[in-house]
Amino acid sequence: MFDLKVALTNIAQRWKYKMEEVTPGVYRLDVALKMKDETWRYQFVYVWIIAGRHFGKDVVYMNSRCGEYNPNLNHYKIIKESGYGTYAQVTITTDKRADGSPCETIIVQAVQPVELTNEAIINEVIYDVAYNADIIEETYFGGDNN
């Protein structure tokens, strides 16, 4: 049986990511990304299980915010950037700003059926989500904001 908390704890310890349970069953990892110039950037990835999402089966759901959607963004280029994801995809979701007001946010997300996953896969997916979100955030939203 797959235990998400155990898997995430092991991943966080292995890579020295900060991990926090932000609400019961929802985890936030501060994923470290080493850049070509040897500097480090960090990207939050949220991870939790959604019961019954994939044809009635449970999934591990992961996402990372890139920035707030606006119609002036270069949508073509953002979609092209999403082609670099192995497990991840770019989408727009309903969200809230820090002040609680509603907005739409561009995120990178991934969904892995629980019955078909393990810690090694989740490790790769988390990094894929973080890396792709960080590129979009830096390129289209001006820096490390999420």
pLDDT digits (tens, 9 = 90+) for 23-60: 999 999 999 998 888 888 999 999 999 999 989 999 99
39/126 Cα distance (integer angstroms) = 20
Domain edges within the chain: 4-141
Reference 95, options 87, 107, 86; nearest CA is 107
pLDDT band per the 50, 70, 90 thresholds, residue 121: very high
CATH code for the domain defined by 4-141: 3.30.1460.10
Query: Given a cut of 80, is residue 143 above it in pLDDT?
Result: no
Reference 145, options 13, 47, 43, 6; nearest CA is 43
